[in-house]
Structure 1
Amino acid sequence: MVGKITVIGAGNVGATCAQRAAEKELADVVLVDVVEGMPQGKALDLCEAAPVEKHDARLLGTNDYADTAGSDVIIVTAGIARKPGMSRDDLIKTNAGIVKATVERAAPLSPEAVIIVVSNPLDAMCHVALKASGMPPRQVIGMAGVLDSARFRYFIAEALDVSVENTHAFVLGGHGDTMVPLPRFSTVAGIPITELLPADKIAALCQRTAQGGAEIVSLLKTGSAYYAPASAAVEMAEAILKDKKKILPCAAYLQGQYGYNDLYIGVPVKLGKGGVLDVVEIKLTADEKAALDNSAGAVQKLVELLAELGY
């Protein structure tokens, strides 16, 4: 197997990332966690599924970061999950410390790796990972837009009774209640959904997308989403490992693009070997830009809170 993916955190998201990556035969996978036995047990379980799933990816569960050395992609899922009534922002104090500690241990062992942050609040945790890693911004990105767009795509397909494969969508901005779904860039077989659905229905789909994570948290009651987040992170990893130069909405560090500086925000990027190859700037309407400014402002407040906390 060519390539190596490290997944930090062997909880539901991390273990599912390992499963998705192995079954796609993207690379060998190292699953690392501080809890003794958990990553080893989950990795062994996945290895024993390999003959049935017909893949030859090797999986290693470990508590030792030395085993992660030479990784091409590092997916950071470590942190506490949301519970009912909690926002992603409520997680900031605890998860900032966890992300900082894990990235500081992993990054020096894999200086050429691309770090994909999944831990919430995602945009803020990208800032923590960037500082902790010492890597160029193009090598530290956040998984948000792929997940949010996938949710939007599913809701569109459900509303129109069409295949999800026919749907495309873009969701920009921070990974939270202020995210910005863009209906006029969202299509079914190339047809904008603005021509297929009434405005009130589109507004309802946009609102459901923004609340997509909270909806699942309220149903599960004891955890948060993990199947779709894992799939989204692995799609990004695949684009990087295969140098696909795929246009995906990701949390990227902006330095002037869209009018923002030194801020992680969800935008379309060209993703390939080495991480972000380019930020794709699209022309927004005044209303869309205002919504994106509002989302960026919410992220900026979290970054300022991180500074107050010493991150």
Structure 2
Amino acid sequence: MSSKITIIGAGSVGSTIAYTLSNQDIASEIVLIDINKEKVAGEVMDIIQGTCFRDPINIKAGEYEDAKDSNIVIITSGIARKPGQTRIELAQTNVNILKDITPKIVKEAPNALYVIVSNPVDIMTYVFTKISGLPENQVVGSGTILDTARLRCGLAEHFDIAQKNIHAYVFGEHGDTSFIPWSRAHISCANIDEYTTLMNNIGKEIPTLDKDAMLEYVQKSGGKIIANKGATFYAVSASVCRLCGLLLSAYDSTATVSSMMHGEYGIDDVCLSTLSMIGPNGLKGKVPVPLTDEEVEKLKKSADALKSVIAQIEL
């Protein structure tokens, strides 16, 4: 099946997403759009010259009108987070950029599924949902998909097991108030504590997991990478491309994307990540998995933190 994906923003994240997609079979056409015409032309030339080793794919540097008939539009535009800067501190600057982009791209691709990647992603997803005029099923933020990937990476290393055997998620804000609902975390059909006991009983020495340290690993990974190399873009690109694949699949899947809350867990009028059902028609809704009272309170704390930022920005 042919599919067209447009990417707004040719910075480190946007161009890496385009490159990653060029090595997969998700899209048959990729359009990369950026205000910096020379930069986007260079990125496309560099990417397309490596596609001789795969089946033909159409990649072009374009304008907004070239997004027409896109199946998916990925928005990565915005100022990158600097070392020591929180995602929330980016809010108003990137909101202003999004307010400029939104009517231009929605005019050209009103039927596309939109994936918001720009940080702070939950705020940006909320703003786009509010100002785009699109049905909510067409809009998702990348949310805690990356956080969940980091969690599974950390758990795979701790338990010395392939990540595909791990079902654990990060909920809430893509940021400092995120949390891990450990009551929903399983490895090979056993919860984390059960799995540790089971492995020790068969002679595979597994140390007790420090759950607080694992959450810190998840939350601090982005900042550490930025401090070390200046930006994060490989893992987020892989996460977004995986999300695109789910949105273009024949069947529905679950993922921790950011979307508008409508009373789930007692939370309303804010975008954050819980387990959601997504598929070829976009967002199908939240999957109301049971959480402990403590976990619900953590989710509400995350929602309140985001609402406090929304109250301070100009929509």
| TM bucket, shorter chain | over 0.9
- Percent of paired sites with the same residue: 30
Q: In the alignment, does 2:69 pair up with 1:70?
A: yes
Q: Provide the TM-score with structure 1 as the length reference.
A: 0.93
Q: Is the 8 Å Cα contact of residues 8 and 77 (structure 2) preserved in structure 1?
A: yes
Alignment of 1:118-197 (within 5 A): 118-195=117-194, 196=196
In the aligned structure 2, how far is the partner of 1:108 from the partner of 1:131? 15
Q: Is the 8 Å Cα contact of residues 23 and 55 (structure 1) preserved in structure 2?
A: no
In the aligned structure 1, how far is the partner of 2:245 from the partner of 2:272? 21
Moved more, 189-198 or 90-99: 189-198
Letter of the structure 1 residue corresponding to residue 211 of structure 2: I
In the aligned structure 2, how far is the partner of 1:251 from the partner of 1:243? 22
Q: Is the 8 Å Cα contact of residues 261 and 269 (structure 2) preserved in structure 1?
A: yes
- The total of aligned residue pairs comes to 304
1:253 aligned residue (229, 251, 260) = 260
> 1:57-108: CA deviations, max 9, x gaps?
211112x111111111111111111111100011012111111212221111
Task: Assess, with a 3 A threshold, how the Cα gap between structure 1 residues 243 and 103 changes in structure 2: closer, same or farther.
Answer: farther
In the aligned structure 2, how far is the partner of 1:296 from the partner of 1:199? 31
In the aligned structure 2, how far is the partner of 1:171 from the partner of 1:103? 28
What does residue 220 of structure 2 align with?
211
What does residue 106 of structure 1 align with?
105
In the aligned structure 1, how far is the partner of 2:297 from the partner of 2:207? 22
Q: Provide the TM-score with structure 2 as the length reference.
A: 0.92
Q: In the alignment, does 2:23 pair up with 1:44?
A: no
For residue 172 of structure 1, give the secondary structure of its aligned residue in structure 2.
coil
How much does 1:199 deviate?
A: 6.2
In the aligned structure 1, how far is the partner of 2:2 from the partner of 2:268? 37
In the aligned structure 1, how far is the partner of 2:77 from the partner of 2:193? 39
Task: Assess, with a 3 A threshold, how the Cα gap between structure 1 residues 145 and 244 changes in structure 2: closer, same or farther.
Answer: farther
1:300 aligned residue (303, 307, 311) = 307
How much does 1:274 deviate?
A: 2.4
What does residue 272 of structure 2 align with?
265
Q: Is the 8 Å Cα contact of residues 112 and 274 (structure 1) preserved in structure 2?
A: no
In the aligned structure 1, how far is the partner of 2:55 from the partner of 2:269? 41
Task: Assess, with a 3 A threshold, how the Cα gap between structure 1 residues 3 and 86 changes in structure 2: closer, same or farther.
Answer: same
Unaligned stretches of 5+ in structure 1? Answer: none
Alignment of 1:6-25 (within 5 A): 6-25=6-25
How much does 1:187 deviate?
A: 2.5
In the aligned structure 2, how far is the partner of 1:200 from the partner of 1:156? 9
In the aligned structure 1, how far is the partner of 2:188 from the partner of 2:49? 40
For residue 87 of structure 1, give the secondary structure of its aligned residue in structure 2.
coil
Q: Is the 8 Å Cα contact of residues 22 and 58 (structure 1) preserved in structure 2?
A: no
Root-mean-square deviation over aligned CA pairs = 1.5
How much does 1:10 deviate?
A: 0.5
Q: Is the 8 Å Cα contact of residues 10 and 32 (structure 1) preserved in structure 2?
A: yes
